[in-house]
Chains A and B, each alone.
Chain A
Amino acid sequence: MKPWQIIFAIAAKDWRVEGRARDVLSATLFFAVLVVTILAFAFGPEPSKLREAAPGILWVAIAFASILAASRAFASESEDGALEALLLYPVPHELIYLGKLLGNLGLMLVLALIITPFTLTLYGVGVAGRELPFILTVLLGVMGFSIISSFQSALTINLRSRESLMPVLFFPIVVPVVIASVKATVGLMTLDPSVDVWGWIRLLAGFNVVYLVVCTLIFPYAVE
């Protein structure tokens, strides 16, 4: 098998499991909707304030959902020695990481596809005419979260206090993704010329490339 076939086979396995159980998507989607709704109450009923807060709320919801999705995806691997079997496949472990990453990314993109229009509609904001850079921002932002969360849930899979460990490790590292995605989204929504949208998108792309390389290379040590 070629490397991309291996990656795709592992991702397809995760999608098949998800298609049958709908375990990850239902839980994370509900959670993300909850975050978006609760924060609307927290910021009060004033429409102008809500519009201002919308980009931040959207990305907080996606970040929280991402961490939940990744720990769930690896929780299913920890049952019945599934991970050991996965690691026994005669393929480089780097490809297993990329496969799990692709699987997680696919689910997160489905989630983003639902939660983003939901948030935009609910908060009365839009990106009309700038859809393409906005889609690129969402794609890169979600990917940044996935790279880190997939890696870290593999790292912490067999630890007792996994649930509390994940956020401790995850959030400080992905803060640059949150900042860059929020800034780019603000720039696209408000057309504020002082926001360098493409600069922030470049930062997202740079973050993704650097962490993708580092995490892929170090992954074999993380799952020994």
Chain B
Amino acid sequence: MNSKPSQAAWLTPVLGYSSVIVIAVALIFTFTAQPDVLQGYLTRILPIHVGASWLAYLSFGLTAVFGLTYLITRNPHWDRLSLSSTEIGVVFIVLSLFSGALWGRPAWGAYWQWGDARLTTTALMLLVYVGMLMVRGMIEDGGRRARVSAVIGIVASVGVPINYMSVYWWNTLHQTPSLSIAERRSALQNDGILIGFLVALLGFTLLYLYLLRLRGQLALQQTRLEERELDLELKGAIAND
């Protein structure tokens, strides 16, 4: 079997616990910070919303990278990682939309705004990746499934930069990033919120790595189970002859 055995079994729980601790620290900073002058208590959702969105971008970007690596190496290991990454991305893009809607209701007066470019492109990304998972479910042959979903994952990843840039290009309702190194600009007013924000990004990255390992291992177990069942069936068929 050309799949990597989990060479570091201790790493997965360490990643899991540390992500919980780091996100908890981020929330403590956020919730003890002074309320924002403009948004008041609404900024408290920022680490979760931005963290989830960042995690979704990361997952979908890496889905394409894993897909491309699969196409080059043809090692099913990368297909399993690509699948895991897509599933994680779908979960967290839903969380991002949900937390954004909760914030949008008091800030914009509506849970959802069809006119906003960031919101609509995010909803489209969700649809594309859910479609990709549906396609996976419809193809039975493993090699073909891996190849087709790798190709879709690469084509779909074009949406990630479009989604990120949409707030600059269309200038609709959603604000531009709260923190921009390229523009040397921060809309985060005090240190508590800023630290909470940065720590949350780290925490969500750890959470991604944890979930990726966990889901990848599960996918590996599933593959092994399927192969084993096939073996047993074959042996049964031979024994019956």
**DSSP majority for the A interface?**
helix
For the complex, what is the distance from the CA of A176 to the CA of B155, rounded to whole Å?
A: 14
For the complex, what is the distance from the CA of A156 to the CA of B148, rounded to whole Å?
A: 8
Asked whether B135 is an interface residue with its Cβ less than 8 Å from the other chain, the reply is yes
How near does chain B come to A83, taking the closest CB pair, in angstroms? Answer: 15
Q: What is the size category of the interface that chain B forms with chain A? A: 20 to 34
Question: Contacts A161-B138, A221-B71: A169 and B150 contacting too (C-beta < 8 A)?
Answer: no
A172 and B124 within 8 A (CB): yes
User: Which A residues lie at the B interface, using CB under 8 A?
Assistant: 151, 155-156, 158-161, 164-165, 168-169, 171-173, 175-176, 179, 210-211, 214-215, 218, 221-222, 224
Question: Contacts A159-B138, A168-B135, A221-B150: A215 and B155 contacting too (C-beta < 8 A)?
Answer: yes
Contact with A along B115-156 (1 / 0, CB 8 A): 000001100110110011011001100001001101110111
- Complex partner residue of A224 from B134, B138, B147, CB under 8 angstroms: B147
> Which residues on the A side are within 8 Å of B125 (C-beta)?
172
B151 and A218 within 8 A (CB): yes
A210 and B71 within 8 A (CB): no
**DSSP majority for the B interface?**
helix
Summed over the interface, the residue pairs from A and B with CB atoms below 8 Å come to a total of 58
> Which residues on the A side are within 8 Å of B138 (C-beta)?
159-161, 164-165
For the complex, what is the distance from the CA of A10 to the CA of B151, rounded to whole Å?
A: 23
B124 and A175 within 8 A (CB): yes
For the complex, what is the distance from the CA of A169 to the CA of B127, rounded to whole Å?
A: 9
B158 and A218 within 8 A (CB): no
How near does chain A come to B202, taking the closest CB pair, in angstroms? Answer: 31
For the complex, what is the distance from the CA of A215 to the CA of B134, rounded to whole Å?
A: 21
> Which residues on the B side are within 8 Å of A172 (C-beta)?
124-125, 127-128, 131
> Which residues on the A side are within 8 Å of B156 (C-beta)?
173
A221 and B151 within 8 A (CB): yes
B158 and A151 within 8 A (CB): no
For the complex, what is the distance from the CA of A175 to the CA of B156, rounded to whole Å?
A: 13
